Structure formats: structure tokens, C-alpha cells
């Protein structure tokens, strides 16, 4: 870590260099603290530019310090010291000014940002509130509405928007240091603006605050920090500066020590660690410049969309003209949906479509770098695809299967150069879901494996390496979760109570509602396949429902009944009759124990997975459940939650 001071006439340039992201650890806080003193004491200096080396402006407090007692100088004091400095400081922002980084920028008299930069207060995503005046200075700088949006969502804004909101004073292009020094010189010719802490703030009426509270409660789904942040903002808008600062600090320190913050920090580091696996640090991945997808159903089209979103030109192969047409409709629907939701402009959606070549001729794949098979879950069908790929693709093309249940070793049998074969298990909708399970076979080369991880980075996905077993990591735990939930039903626990308990825990849906939405027949067919292959698969309650035609919402009923046009689950007398004799008359497990029993079962399966070497570490299992299966992020995943 270095903080250096240069001089350009009457403007000093303080450069912070603390790789990788200039996080504000104790020594950096001290060094900036000292720089204020040095420059205040220098009569030749009239203004100071604060700029950062490396990829970004200060990206926030050093999160690794959060488990330890705070050590001075404390960040709020440093921000005050910058604001009270005898010379005006100008924050010169590139990359991201986040959390404590943006709070430091608000301590400066001015903020100048490169056009590609962004600013934000993402603390709520770490289960805390801003702790160095983010909730108190932001409303004084940009108004209460902008502050509430910035702080309670944690979403950063790009420089142009930051300028329009008043969060920064100027957006520049070119050489940031040159531009910031020029800005500082010009600023010296005019009266200085008031320090932010001294600016007035107008609070909206109580009804507005109530509305915000309602909306945030709905959005936060059990997460505490967004509501506490709103509370801090309200105090900031209604109380004097010092009182609001004290309230913010107390809230920050309380939340910093909370279980939710610990869980979210766990996720923060697990997510970042996942993209850089230590065991592949020495392996250079292949460069992927083109890709193809075999199969344009829901999964194939989603994978194709994900590849296009990452800018890769792709070829989509289907078996005949009709299937190509259906695949085209599937892709169009994905991009049309993105336009409707405001994620893409019409022109961007069209460019996405234009980058897809469709057909049924494998010969088109002769020069493709990566091919992902996403056809029907049937070994013979998949093998036929890889027989074609083995003949047509380059010997060094990476060939991947998206299978969720079939042993990839069986799929790869007979494939020439099996070192380039790998499982890439996407989750539906593949262009939205962040998880990518990467499943190497014993013959997969380290280079192919590293390319799987590199692809995940290219697609902005979270990669988790999984060994080969029934269902890999995610579906294997899902199976155990469902089996345990059924066991509770057999003991007499009402289906609706189990779902309500898991919603209460933080899932968007309980296990039975989720099956009704996805269809009970998928897992049923898989069990039937295993039975046909001679495996001993005991009958499940779900089997009884499917055999009675109850496959879920699509058949008007599954674990619940559904009224026409209404997706809200209704407890079903028909289900009660079908399951009679298999369900105990007792009242089952008390409501407040249900979630604990089910999460403990998930974790038990996770431990078995670890012992067998199917997952590389417990945090990988947490990533799978959070990013692929709706486990509440603020609980940190089943392994963390039951540690
Ligand atoms: C805060 O500021 C509280 C204050 O209000 C009050 C305090 C009193 N600390 O993401 P990357 C590491 S809360 C420590 O892959 P990118 C990260 O683990 C903070 N380490 O890079 C990784 O390490 P490794 C509010 C951090 O270029 C490496 O840096 N701020 C921190 O894709 C590279 O990270 C945030 O929440 C940190 N704050 O993205 C911002 N940040 O290489 C969090 C990163 O060993 N950070 N690391 O695996 C980010 O959003 C991204 O890192 C950023 C760069 C966009 C900056």
C-alpha cells in the first residue's frame, strides 16, 4: 500500500495505490489522514486531487476487517477530516467509487468522474448500512429520493446518471489526472460550494416514507439491512447532522456484527473466490471466440442467449427445419422479453438475434471453438450428437454436455480426443441464472477445465466444479431436500405448513409449490428410468400424484389444486385422499422446527458430498444452493447456515 503526493503548481495530487481495489484498510486510512495534515501545512498548495492507481477508485472499506474490532482512524472521522481540510479536495474517480470509497469522495469538496466510472453505496448487499455518512451526506448532496434509491438497493449508478443526480460535479473523458487538476484550478477561481454536511435537506412527508417502507419490505424478503438503511435515511432527513451520524454509526456497528452480515460476507468472498480456482492458477485456458449450441429448446435457447449476451457469435443446431423454427421462436421470446423488461433496446435485441446462425447441418461447426450440447436427457440421443461432433469439429474444439443427471463419462464414450470433453450444467433460464456447475470427467484435461471457468467469467456466471454423482451437487441436495419434505408429510406435517415454513426461512417458494410450478413429471420420469434400469428406487408420494395425473400447475393440480387462471395453491382434498394411508394421523413436526430440519438435511447431504470429493469446499455447495436453487443469500447457504 502506498499513498504518494505529487505537486503540479498549486495543486497537489494524492495517489492511493492499494491493489487490488484500493480498499480502505487501517493503514490506508492512516496514510490519507496524514496526507491531509501534510498538505494543510504546505502553504504552496491551494487544492488537492485524490486519485487512485490500478483498476478502480477506492472500492470501499476493507471487508476483511469487518470481523475484527474497528481500529482508528475510523472512516467517518477520516471523511470529516477531508471535509474540514484547509484546502478543497477533488475526488478523481475511475472504475468504481463504492461504499466507503464514495463516502470519502463525499468528504471531498468536489467529485470528478471518468465517463466509464460508477458510484454507489452497496453496503446493504453486505448486510450493513453505510457507516461513514453514506446515509447522512447522500441526501444532503443529491436529495432524499436519490439517496433512498442508491442506499436501499445498493445498486451503483454510471457517471452520466450520477451527474444528473448531483452525485458528481463533472464527467470527463481522456486523462483523468489532467482533467481533475484542470477542474481543481478552475474551482479555485470561484467561491467554494458549502461542505455537504452543512447543506440543508428536506424530508418528504410521512406518507412517502411509509410507501418506501412497504416497497422495501416486499423487495427485501427477510433481509434486514435495506429497512435499517431506510430508517437511517429518515433520521438523516429529519434530525441534525451529528445526531444522524451517531444513529448511522450505531446501526452500522450493530449490523456489522449480525448473522446476516456474516452470511453475506461469506457469499461475497465465496463468489469472488469461485471464479479464480487455486488449483487451476497455473493453467492457461483456451480463448473462446465462437460457440455453438445443439438443441434450441428452453435450455438450449437460454444458453444461446447467455452466449450472445457475452458477445460471442453462435451457431444453433437443431435436427430439422421445424425444430429450427421452434428454436427461433424460443430465442425471439427471450430477447423480446428482455426488451419488454427494459433490459435491452430493440436494436440491441436485433443485434443479439443477428449474431445467431441457425440450421441442422453439423458441417457448419467445423471451425467452432466451443460446442454445448443441450438436447433431450436421453443417453442415446446425446451420444448420437457427440458422434456427429467428433466427426465434424476441430480436434481442439471444447465439447460440452449440459446434462443434469446422465453420467458424462457415458456420454463421452467413443469420442475422439476426450480430453476436450466436459460437463457444463446451466440452470434454467440459462441466460438469467448465475450458477454454472462444471463437471470434468477423468479424461478432461486441465486446460479444458480451466476453459470452463474462463467461459463462466465471460458469461458473468458463478462457476462451481462438481464431481460425477447422481445429480452432481445441486440436484443431489435438491433430491434429499424433497425426500425429507415428503418424510415430514408422511409424519403428518401439512404440505402447506412445510411450504410456508420455507418461505418464512427466505425461499421464494416452498418445496411443494416449486414442484407444482416446475412439473412433478420430470423427477418422476427420471425415477422411472432408474427403476427400468433395475435400480431400487422406493415409491415416493410424488409418484402417486403423477400416476393420478397430477403433474403440477400445468395439469391444474399437483401437491395443490389451482383454480383456472389462478396460480395460488389451494390445499387439495384429492391429494389428501390419494395419500391417505401413507400419511400419519399425528400433527407432524411443529411449524417452528420445519425449516431447521430441512436445512439440516440439505447440509447433511452437503457433508456427504464433501466427504466423497464431489464438491471442492463447503462454500462451493453454498454457492450452488444460493445461485441455482433459491436458498436465501442472506442465510449464506446450507453449509454456512448450519456451521
Ligand atoms: C463499506 O465500504 C462500509 C462503509 O460504508 C463504512 C465503513 C466504516 N474489501 O470483485 P473483484 C477483493 S462496505 C476487501 O474480483 P472486479 C476481492 O475479494 C464495502 N477486498 O474485482 C478480490 O480478491 P481476490 C463496500 C475486496 O474488478 C479482489 O478484491 N464496497 C473488496 O471484478 C478483486 O475483486 C463494496 O461492496 C473490499 N471492499 O470488481 C465493493 N472489494 O483477488 C465490493 C473487492 O483475492 N467490490 N475485494 O479474490 C466490488 O464490487 C468489486 O470488487 C469491484 C471490482 C467492482 C470494485
Helices 26-40 + 75-84 axis angle, to 10 = 20
User: Please, what is the average pLDDT of the chain?
Assistant: 96
SS3 of 92-142: EECCEEECHHHHHHHHCCEEEEECCCEEECHHHHHCCCCCCCHHHHHHHHH
- d(CA 260, CA 633) in angstroms, rounded, equals 9
Distance 480 CA to ligand 1 centre (A): 35
Share of the chain above pLDDT 90, in %: 95
- pLDDT per residue as tens digits for the range 356-414: 999 999 999 999 999 999 998 889 999 999 999 999 999 999 999 999 989 999 999 99
pLDDT of residue 574: 96
CA distance 588 to 594: 10
pLDDT of res. 157: 98
CA distances from 227 to 131, 215, 408 (A): 15, 10, 46
- The cell for 640 is 454456512
In whole angstroms, how far apart are CA 404 and each of 229, 315, 430, 497? 41, 22, 13, 30
For residue 542, pLDDT beyond 90? yes
**Is 3.40.50.720 the CATH number for 278-465?**
yes
Contact (CB, 8 A) for 139 and 233: yes
Lowest mean pLDDT segment, chosen from 218-222, 317-321, 450-454, 462-466: 218-222
Q: What is the pLDDT of residue 68?
A: 86
CB 125 within 8 A of CB 102: no
Q: What are the boundaries of each domain within the chain? A: 2-257, 278-465, 474-613
The answer to whether 426 and 303 are in contact (CB under 8 A) is yes
Q: Choose, from 10, 65, 83, 103, the residue flagged as catalytic.
A: 103
* CA 462, 467, 473, 475 torsion-angle sign: positive
Residue 631, C-alpha cell as written in the block: 436458498
What value does the mean pLDDT take over residues 495-517?
97
Residues of the chain with pLDDT > 70: what percent?
100
243 — alpha (psi -120 to 50), left (phi > 0) or beta? alpha
Distance CA 317, CA 305 (A): 14
Per residue in 551-580, pLDDT (tens digit) is 999 999 999 999 988 999 999 999 999 999
Contact 428, 302 (CB under 8 A): yes
Give the residue whose CA is nearest to atom 22 of ligand 1. Answer: 272
Residue 63 CA: nearest ligand 1 atom is 9
Which of 59, 107, 270 for mutating ligand 1's site (highest number of atoms within 8 Å of CB)? 59
**Cβ contact 256:262 at 8 Å:** no
- Burial bucket for residue 191 (CB in 10 Å: 0-12, 13-18, 19+): exposed
pTM of the model: 0.94
How much is the pLDDT for 235?
A: 98
Asked if 52 contacts 16 with a C-beta cutoff of 8 angstroms, the reply is yes
Predicted pLDDT of residue 393: 97
Cβ(57)–Cβ(95) below 8 Å: yes
Longest dimension (CA), the chain: 90
Phi, psi of 400 (to 5 degrees): -125, 145
- Confidence at 70, pLDDT banded by 50, 70, 90: confident
Residue with cell 477542474: 183
Q: What is the CA radius of gyration of the chain?
A: 28
Burial pattern 103-113, b for ≥16 Cβ within 10 A else e, equals: bbbbbbbbbbb
Contact 225, 259 (CB under 8 A): no
Active site residue 123: yes
Determine the Cα–Cα distance for residues 494 and 484; give it in Å rounded to an integer. Answer: 13
Q: Which of 26, 60, 225 is the pocket-test mutation for ligand 1 (most atoms within 8 Å of CB)?
A: 60
Reported confidence tier of residue 144, pLDDT bands at 50, 70, 90:
very high
pLDDT digits (tens, 9 = 90+) for 316-354: 999 999 999 999 999 999 999 999 999 999 999 999 999
CA 6 to centroid of ligand 1, rounded, Å: 27
Confidence of residue 443 (pLDDT cuts 50, 70, 90): very high
Please tell me the predicted confidence (pLDDT) of residue 259. 96
Ligand 1 center to 410 CA (angstroms): 42
Backbone angles phi, psi at 338, to 5 degrees: -65, -35
Read off φ and ψ for residue 625, nearest 5 degrees: -70, -35
Within a 10 A sphere around the Cβ of 324, how many other Cβ atoms?
16
pLDDT band, residue 505 (cuts 50/70/90): very high
Helices (H), 203-240: 206-220, 225-238
CA-nearest residue for atom 21, ligand 1, is 21
Ligand 1 pocket test: pick from 21, 56, 262 the residue with the most ligand atoms within 8 Å of its Cβ.
21
Is 474-613 the same fold as 278-465?
no
pLDDT score at 522: 87
3-class state of residue 566 by DSSP: coil
| 495-525 burial: b if 16+ Cβ within 10 Å, else e | bbbbbbbbbebbbebbbbbbbbebbbbebbe
Assign 528 a pLDDT band (cuts: 50, 70, 90): very high
Dist. CA 21 → ligand 1 center (Å): 6
pLDDT tens digit sequence for 198-247: 999 999 999 999 999 999 999 998 999 999 999 999 999 999 999 999 99
pLDDT (0 to 100) of residue 221: 87
Own/partner pairs, 376-383, CB within 8 angstroms, 24+ separation: 376/295, 376/297, 377/403, 377/404, 377/405, 377/406, 377/526, 379/406, 379/410, 379/411, 382/406, 382/411, 383/410, 383/411, 383/413, 383/414
The DSSP code for 395 is T
Distance between CA atoms of residues 453 and 438, nearest Å? 8
Residue with the three cell numbers 440421443 = 381
CATH number, domain 2-257: 3.90.226.10
| Angle between helical axes of 618-629 and 591-611 (0-180°, round to 10) | 130
Question: At residue 178, what are phi and psi to the nearest 5 degrees?
Answer: -60, -45
Closest ligand 1 atom, CA of 55?
27
Which atom from ligand 1 is nearest to the alpha carbon of 129?
A: 5
Mean pLDDT of 151-172: 98
Distance from residue 268's CA to the centre of ligand 1 (Å): 9
What is the rounded CA–CA span in Å between residue 53 and residue 115? 17
- Under CATH, which architecture does the 474-613 domain have? Orthogonal Bundle (1.10)
* pLDDT value of residue 208: 98
125 Cα–ligand 1 center, Å: 12
Tell me the CB-side half-sphere exposure of residue 65, using CA atoms within 13 A.
Answer: 17
pLDDT, residue 10, reads 97
Given 65, 83, 123, 528, the catalytic residue: 123
The strand order across the sheet containing 157-158 reads 96-98, 118-120, 157-158
Q: How many CA atoms lie within 13 A of 495 on its CB side?
A: 24
Amino acid at each position: 500500500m502506498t499513498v504518494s503526493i505529487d505537486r503540479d503548481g498549486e495543486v497537489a495530487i494524492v495517489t492511493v495505490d492499494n491493489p487490488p481495489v484500493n480498499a480502505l484498510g487501517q493503514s490506508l486510512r492512516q496514510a490519507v489522514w496524514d496526507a491531509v495534515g501534510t498538505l494543510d501545512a504546505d502553504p504552496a498548495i491551494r487544492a488537492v486531487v485524490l486519485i487512485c492507481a490500478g483498476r478502480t477508485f477506492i472500492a470501499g472499506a476493507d471487508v476483511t476487517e469487518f470481523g475484527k474490532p474497528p481500529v482508528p482512524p475510523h472512516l467517518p472521522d477520516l471523511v470529516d477530516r477531508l471535509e474540514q481540510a484547509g484546502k478543497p479536495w477533488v475526488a478523481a474517480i475511475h472504475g468504481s467509487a463504492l461504499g466507503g470509497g464514495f463516502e470519502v469522495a463525499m468528504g471531498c469538496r468536489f467529485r470528478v468522474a471518468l465517463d466509464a466510472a460508477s458510484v454507489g453505496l452497496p453496503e446493504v448487499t453486505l448486510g450493513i448500512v453505510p457507516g461513514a455518512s453514506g446515509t447522512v451526506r447522500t441526501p444532503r448532496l443529491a436529495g432524499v429520493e436519490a439517496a433512498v434509491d442508491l442506499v436501499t438497493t445498493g445498486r451503483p449508478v454510471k457517471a452520466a446518471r450520477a451527474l444528473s443526480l448531483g452525485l458528481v460535479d463533472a464527467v470527463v473523458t481522456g486523462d483523468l489526472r489532467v482533467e481533475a487538476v484542470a477542474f481543481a484550478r478552475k474551482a479555485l477561481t470561484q467561491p467554494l460550494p458549502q461542505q455537504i454536511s452543512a447543506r440543508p435537506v428536506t424530508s418528504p412527508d410521512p406518507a412517502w416514507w411509509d410507501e418506501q417502507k412497504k416497497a422495501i419490505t416486499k423487495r427485501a424478503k427477510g433481509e434486514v439491512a435495506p429497512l435499517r438503511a431506510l430508517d437511517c435515511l429518515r433520521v438523516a432527513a429529519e434530525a441534525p447532522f451529528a445526531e444522524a451520524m451517531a444513529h448511522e454509526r450505531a446501526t452500522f456497528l450493530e449490523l456489522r456484527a449480525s448473522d446476516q452480515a456474516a452470511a453475506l460476507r461469506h457469499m461475497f468472498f465465496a463468489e469472488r473466490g469461485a471464479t479464480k480456482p487455486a488449483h487451476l492458477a497455473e493453467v492457461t485456458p483456451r480463448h473462446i471466440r465462437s460457440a455453438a449450441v445443439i438443441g434450441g429448446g428452453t435450455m438450449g435457447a437460454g444458453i444461446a442467449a447467455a452466449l450472445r449476451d457475452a458477445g460471442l457469435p453462435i451457431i444453433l443446431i437443431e435436427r430439422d427445419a421445424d425444430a429450427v423454427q421452434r428454436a427461433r421462436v424460443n430465442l425471439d421470446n427471450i430477447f423480446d422479453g428482455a426488451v419488454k423488461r427494459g433490459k435491452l433496446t430493440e436494436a440491441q435485441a436485433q443485434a443479439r438475434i443477428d449474431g445467431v446462425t441457425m440450421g441442422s447441418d453439423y458441417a457448419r461447426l467445423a471451425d467452432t471453438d466451443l460446442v454445448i450440447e443441450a438436447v433431450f436427457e436421453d443417453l442415446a440421443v446425446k451420444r448420437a450428437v457427440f458422434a456427429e461432433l467428433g466427426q465434424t469439429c476441430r480436434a481442439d474444439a471444447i465439447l460440452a454436455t449440459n446434462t443434469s443427471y446422465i453420467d458424462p463419462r457415458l456420454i463421452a464414450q467413443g469420442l475422439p480426443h476426450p480430453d476436450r470433453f466436459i460437463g457444463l450444467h446451466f440452470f434454467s433460464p440459462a441466460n438469467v441464472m448465475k450458477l454454472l456447475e462444471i463437471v470434468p470427467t477423468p479424461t478432461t484435461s486441465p486446460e479444458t477445465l480451466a476453459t470452463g471457468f474462463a467461459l463462466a467469467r465471460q458469461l458473468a456466471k458463478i462457476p462451481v466444479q462438481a464431481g460425477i454423482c447422481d445429480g452432481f451437487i445441486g440436484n443431489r441436495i435438491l433430491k434429499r431436500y424433497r425426500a425429507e419434505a415428503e418424510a415430514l408429510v408422511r409424519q403428518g406435517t401439512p404440505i402447506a405448513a412445510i411450504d410456508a415454513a420455507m418461505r418464512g426461512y427466505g425461499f421464494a417458494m416452498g418445496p411443494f409449490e416449486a414442484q407444482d410450478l416446475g412439473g412433478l413429471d420430470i423427477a418422476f420420469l427420471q425415477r422411472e428410468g432408474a427403476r427400468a434400469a433395475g435400480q431400487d428406487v422406493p415409491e415416493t408420494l410424488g409418484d402417486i400424484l403423477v400416476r393420478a395425473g397430477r403433474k403440477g400447475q400445468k395439469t391444474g393440480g399437483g401437491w395443490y389444486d389451482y383454480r383456472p387462471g389462478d396460480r395460488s395453491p389451494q390445499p387439495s382434498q384429492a391429494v389428501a385422499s390419494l395419500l391417505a394411508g401413507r400419511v400419519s394421523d399425528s400433527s407432524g413436526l411443529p411449524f417452528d422446527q420445519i425449516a431447521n430440519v430441512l436445512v439440516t438435511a440439505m447440509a447433511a447431504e452437503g457433508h456427504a458430498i464433501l466427504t466423497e470429493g464431489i464438491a471442492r469446499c463447503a462454500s462451493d455447495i453454498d454457492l450452488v444452493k444460493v445461485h441455482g436453487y433459491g436458498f436465501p443469500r442472506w442465510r449464506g447457504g446450507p453449509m454456512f447456515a448450519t456451521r
